[in-house]
């Protein structure tokens, strides 16, 4: 059973950012360009499992912004399905693919202020570096594939977000949530509720 993080969402934050690293991708075809790499078998299971985790936590996402790489698109769609976010509303921004911290800051700060919860679906090392820039302490060594970092900000607009101003709500990933599953296989949906 998942830990319940609902108490953290009562924090007086006005904005919440979810950083989701794409699920495990396939290296089966070495001829494939990096941009076109699909999810592998584990990735296809982990992405919806993390969506179920978010649903269990009663997370509601106002906007999903995603790298256009195939593995991030597939991850975003699988998570979106679990949290009842319409996949046609996922925004794809090429700046997230091969992004640096400045690119991710720009994407966040360009977000309309009526959006209160934003999910960025992207890649390491930029997501990891971005999370550590936003959090004042306890740096995250590595966001594993399908890992999610949730950060809240006591601000009224996305433009007000600066370095070291975030509060870590949670940092979860499949191997942490499902440590006893063989080959990290996803539990049946009854185990999420």
pLDDT by residue (tens digit) across 155-182?
999 999 999 999 999 999 999 988 876 5
- pLDDT (tens digit, 9 = 90+) per residue, 66-81? 999 999 999 999 999 9
Domains of the chain in start order, with CATH, are 19-25+35-192 (3.40.50.1240)
pTM: 0.87
d(C-alpha 154, C-alpha 16), whole Å: 9
Largest Cα separation within the chain, whole Å, is: 49
71 labeled part of a ligand binding site? yes
Q: Which residues of the chain have pLDDT under 70?
A: 1-13, 181-193
Assign 3-state DSSP to the chain and report helix, strand, coil percentages, each to 5.
Answer: 40, 15, 45
| Alpha carbon distances (Å) from 173 to 21, 107, 130 | 9, 24, 17
d(C-alpha 26, C-alpha 69), whole Å: 13
């Amino acid at each position: 059973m998942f830990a319940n993080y609902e108490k953290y969402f009562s924090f007086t934050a006005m904005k919440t950012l979810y950083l989701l690293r794409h699920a495990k991708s396939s290296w089966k075809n070495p001829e494939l360009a990096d941009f076109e790499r699909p999810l592998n078998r584990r990735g296809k299971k982990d992405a919806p499992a993390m969506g179920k985790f978010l649903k269990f936590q009663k997370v509601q996402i106002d906007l999903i912004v995603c790298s256009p790489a195939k593995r991030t698109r597939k991850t975003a769609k699988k998570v979106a399905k679990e949290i009842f976010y319409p996949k046609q509303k996922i925004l794809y921004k090429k700046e997230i693919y091969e992004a640096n911290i400045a690119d991710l800051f720009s994407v966040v700060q360009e977000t309309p202020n009526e959006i209160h919860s934003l999910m960025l679906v992207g890649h390491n090392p930029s997501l990891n570096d971005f999370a550590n820039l936003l959090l004042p302490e306890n740096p995250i060594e590595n966001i594993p594939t399908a890992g999610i970092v949730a950060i809240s900000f006591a601000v009224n607009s996305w433009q007000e977000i600066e370095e070291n101003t975030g509060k870590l709500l949670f940092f979860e990933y499949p191997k942490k949530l499902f440590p006893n599953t063989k080959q990290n296989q996803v539990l049946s949906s009854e185990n999420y509720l």
